[in-house]
Structure 1
Amino acid sequence: MFYDAVKNDHGFQYDPFKAIVAPRPIGWISSLSADGQANLAPYSYFNAFSQSPHYVAFGSGPRKDSLRNIEATGEFAFNLATYPLREQMNASSAHVAVDEFELTGLTKAPCRLISPPRVAESPACLECRLFQVVPLPDDAGHVENFMVIGRVLGIHIDDRFIHDGRVDTAAMQPLARLGYSEYATVTQAWRMRRPD
């Protein structure tokens, strides 16, 4: 089949776009409001975009607490969402006016270079400084979606997942977002060398 992605006339009950651009890492973003209220929320549009220097980005639509906090403070942390933390990650997606760390029972750990806390239970965290917020307008010029780009300043890795000078990604069991309400878990890694 083929369908016009601008008209989005696919005929399905749910848009298949997210099921095709998959798997996607989950951007589990912690931030602080200007008055110091912690926030933790997962974003299904997230990825890394530069090796040196390191940049990550996530999509927010519409303008949510995380985006408002990051615009106010200029800082956020990415916490690796893993299979053992799947229920807490999901619970932190609720639209609530409370601290999601408290809601989910997760532990706040201090970051070293930024003010927002990180998820102590997560095996990896990227401390980020806001680089740019890019508005993503629709055809009529209305903006309800934004791309938040952050420069990675510091990286935390749980020593239990470092073996022979390499990070054992599969052992951390990172979650990935598929389409609809589906997720995947990385539990096995394999290698393939580039021909050059």
Structure 2
Amino acid sequence: MFFDIGALPPQDRYKIMTATIVPRPIAWITTLSRDGVLNAAPFSFFNMMGNDPPTVAIGIMPRAGLLKDTAANILETGEFVVNLVAETDASAMNTTCIDAPPEVDELALAELEAAPSRFVAPPRIETARVAFECQALTSLVTGPLQTIVIGRVLCAHVEDRFVLDAERCHIDTPSLELIARMHGGEAYLRTSDLFHLKRPIWAEWRERVLRDEAGAES
């Protein structure tokens, strides 16, 4: 089936793309407004973009024809924290999806505590097993009130019990029990079902081909 994405209504584009671009990690973002109002909201249009400099990207869509509080706060202050979502925080994260007005503190609604950050004003979510303090590098308006934010990661907080070897920066990833977004409005994924593939190396690949060719000729 061929879909001419550009010819479809926005909601149909959303259905096709979110049903196929999966799984998507969740950035549970905390920000502060210029007036000091705390905001927390999850976004699944998110990923790591590089390590030198360490960068992440978040796509923020409008809500009800308005710029979302997260986007407004980042554009105003240039600071945010990306908290990652473990399964134990799934219900609280879902509570912060609520379409509350800007003056409402979503962490309070979800009965969550904030923890101080080191380099930015917005706090971390205390129960988050991993959190990245970020400073906005740039933003790109890609549509009416639709914004992509590129942020530089200033530091990472990883709960001690998930650090296997601090000197070598080895993290016990499976034990983090992070969740991801899937298709539809309510579908999430556990990240516990893994398989491994060794990345091919050209020299080994070429050697094997030459060996097979030599065997075929003999």
Query: Given the two structures, how large is their TM-score scaled by the length of structure 2?
Result: 0.82
**Identity of matched residues, %:** 37
Selected match of 2:93 from 89, 94, 113: 89
Q: What secondary structure is seen at the aligned counterpart in 2 of 1:84? A: helix
Listed one character per residue, the Cα deviations across residues 29-52 of structure 1 (whole Å, up to 9, x for unaligned) are 000000111100001211110122
1:45-194 mapped onto 2 (5 Å cutoff): 45-62=45-62, 63-97=67-101, 98-137=104-143, 143-164=144-165, 165=168, 166-181=170-185, 182-194=187-199
Letter of the structure 2 residue corresponding to residue 177 of structure 1:
R
Q: Distance in 2 between matches of 1:87 and 1:56?
A: 25
Q: Distance in 1 between matches of 2:195 and 2:123?
A: 33
Give 1:191 deviation, angstroms: 3.6
The runs of at least 4 aligned residues of structure 1 exceeding 4 Å deviation read: none
Give 1:95 deviation, angstroms: 1.1
Q: Distance in 1 between matches of 2:107 and 2:145?
A: 27
Matched-pair contact (CA < 8 Å) for 1:109–1:119 = yes
Q: What secondary structure is seen at the aligned counterpart in 2 of 1:116? A: coil
State the number of aligned residues.
Answer: 189
Q: Distance in 2 between matches of 1:179 and 1:189?
A: 20
Q: Distance in 2 between matches of 1:190 and 1:16?
A: 26
Instruction: State the superposition RMSD in angstroms.
Output: 1.7
Distance 1:163 1:191, change over 3 A: farther
Give 1:57 deviation, angstroms: 1.1
Q: What secondary structure is seen at the aligned counterpart in 1 of 2:121? A: coil
Listed one character per residue, the Cα deviations across residues 68-113 of structure 1 (whole Å, up to 9, x for unaligned) are 1111111000001111000001000101131011110111000001
Query: Given the two structures, how large is their TM-score scaled by the length of structure 1?
Result: 0.91
Unmatched tracts of structure 2, length 5 or more:
202-218
Q: Distance in 2 between matches of 1:8 and 1:167?
A: 43
Letter of the structure 2 residue corresponding to residue 60 of structure 1:
I
Q: Distance in 2 between matches of 1:91 and 1:114?
A: 24
Matched-pair contact (CA < 8 Å) for 1:25–1:44 = yes
Unmatched tracts of structure 1, length 5 or more:
138-142
From the two aligned structures, give the one with the greater helix fraction: 2
Matched, 1:34 2:34: yes
Q: Distance in 1 between matches of 2:47 and 2:173?
A: 15
